[in-house]
Structure 1
Amino acid sequence: MPRYHFDLIDSKTVADHGGQVLEDVSMAIQVANRLARELSTARPELRGKGYKVLVTDEDGERIHEAPLD
């Protein structure tokens, strides 16, 4: 199964160095969307500032961006 990384980005990146092994791209997108919702709730100060959860695959290819707001 492939490994996906979930980085928190705005003008800078908070990298997910370990990543997560998931079944497929669809599952990675679901995880990113859930993570963005959870971060938005847990860290309301991040809302309205352009933060996103960026999903990349094992090759560093961009898969999806889930905005926090």
Structure 2
Amino acid sequence: MEDGNAITQIFLPLSLTFIMYSVGLELTLVDSKRVAVQPQDFLIGAVSQMFFLPWWRSLCCSSGGSIQPWPWA
């Protein structure tokens, strides 16, 4: 196994698993109740990540580099 493959095949997935598990441990019943009582905040974030961000990425990539993702870039 090459060095790059060991990192990408073993280390990165294990790191991501650890991070996701750690974040999951921080969630409480209060967080779930807040989403149930005020779902608009959750829905705005979920819809933005599923539709707006891919659209923006596609726009930036298909422009041939003429649109910078950040004004200062």
Query: What TM-score does the superposition give when structure 1 sets the normalisation length?
Result: 0.28
For the pair shown, which has the larger CA radius of gyration, 1 or 2?
2
Where relative contact order (Cα < 8 A, 6+ residues apart) is larger, the structure is 1
Query: What TM-score does the superposition give when structure 2 sets the normalisation length?
Result: 0.27
| Greater strand fraction, Structure 1 or Structure 2 | 1
| Greater helix fraction, Structure 1 or Structure 2 | 2
